[in-house]
């Protein structure tokens, strides 16, 4: 796995520690893998129709690694269960700005 060191910016592949500054990269790799696993579980739940579980796993993935894929999955899951508070929260995150107070209009 190719990881960029957060301390010095050096890109390293399959290194436990940054060769330049010694930063512990394996911790970042573990977090990245955990986020990917949660995203996978969320997608599987979404495809099987369990939207609450999908939103749960997408949220866990988001908090580990703020990816647009996790935000989109949580947004779509919230839409499916018509959870307006979660729809607004995840919509803000899918648009690239994490504005919690953003409001959206819902037509009925």
**pLDDT per residue as tens digits for the range 26-54:** 999 999 999 999 999 999 999 999 999 99
So what's the pLDDT on residue 15?
86
Classify residue 1: in a domain, yes or no: no
Secondary element (H or E) of residue 89: helix 84-94
Mean pLDDT lowest for which of 13-17, 41-45, 61-65, 80-84? Answer: 13-17
How many domains, the chain? Answer: 1
**77-106 residue pLDDT tens:** 999 999 999 999 999 998 765 444 444 444
Distances (CA, A) of 68 to 1, 11, 18, 59: 20, 22, 27, 11
Helices (H), 8-81: 25-48, 51-64, 68-81
Distance in angstroms (rounded) separating the CA atoms of residues 35 and 20: 26
So what's the pLDDT on residue 65?
94
Classify residue 107: in a domain, yes or no: yes
Classify residue 17: in a domain, yes or no: no
- Structure tokens belonging to residue 69: 């894929």
Determine the structural domain holding residue 92 and report its residue range. 22-108
């Amino acid at each position: 796995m190719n990881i960029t060191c957060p301390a010095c910016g050096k890109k390293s592949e399959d290194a436990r520690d940054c060769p330049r500054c010694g930063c512990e990269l394996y911790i970042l790799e573990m977090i990245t893998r955990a986020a990917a696993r949660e995203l996978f579980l969320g997608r599987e739940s979404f495809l099987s129709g369990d939207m609450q579980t999908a939103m749960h796993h997408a949220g866990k993935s988001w908090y580990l690694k703020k990816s647009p894929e996790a935000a989109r999955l949580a947004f779509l899951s919230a839409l499916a269960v018509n959870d307006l508070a979660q729809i607004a929260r995840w919509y803000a995150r899918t648009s690239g700005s994490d504005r919690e107070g953003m409001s959206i209009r819902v037509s009925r």
